[in-house]
Amino acid sequence: MVEKATPAKRPPGRPAKPKELPPEALSEIDALKAQIEEMKALLSVQATLNQGPAPMDTVAALMTPKFDQAGTKVLIHFVEDGYTYAGQTWYRGQEIEFVVGNATWSSTLDRDGNSWVALAFDERGQHRRYGRVMFRPGPWQGLGYEDAEDQSGNRIDPKVAKAVAEKEAQRNRAVPTTVNDL
């Protein structure tokens, strides 16, 4: 006699099956799959033309957020000291989050409607414009203020580091409205 197999329970930590996911997650998965297919098509065209792999600029362009869609959030962090924007000098490790279409975003546009923030996804463009890479997309991955050192290699006073860290936390990645907000 043949016994019926009982369905195995999903082990802990194993991803849910697609039918168990909420509709928002399923639509996000579909969008990512479409983006992957778009990249595959581009890479196959490059191979067909016998030009080797797609240049990094082309791949980066596919990964760049759509700046023409209002409401898109773009987070950047500074990797070099000294970038000036909104009446303030920005330093390594500071982050700014922009929302496409709002007033802060509009202040990043040049007369042709191009934003300097888009250069976060174009390091060659930053080298052409600034002579070095000043900022990158996403959150800061480096050391925090409590681990910072001055130019002589001495640790910054913990009280000062804590005060600066609290001020940055209050700013919450927003652009200050005045220099005195720092």
pLDDT at 10: 59
Buried b (16+ CB within 10 A) or exposed e, 138-177: eebeeeebeebeeeeeeeeeeeebeebeeebeeeebebee
Confidence band (pLDDT; 50, 70, 90) for 178?
very low
6-50: pLDDT as tens digits? 656 656 665 556 567 777 878 888 888 888 887 777 666 655 555
pLDDT at 129: 92
Average pLDDT, whole number, for the chain?
76
Confidence band (pLDDT; 50, 70, 90) for 136?
very high
pTM of the complete model beyond 0.95: no
52-85: pLDDT as tens digits? 554 555 555 555 566 667 788 889 999 998 999 9
d(CA 175, CA 178): 9
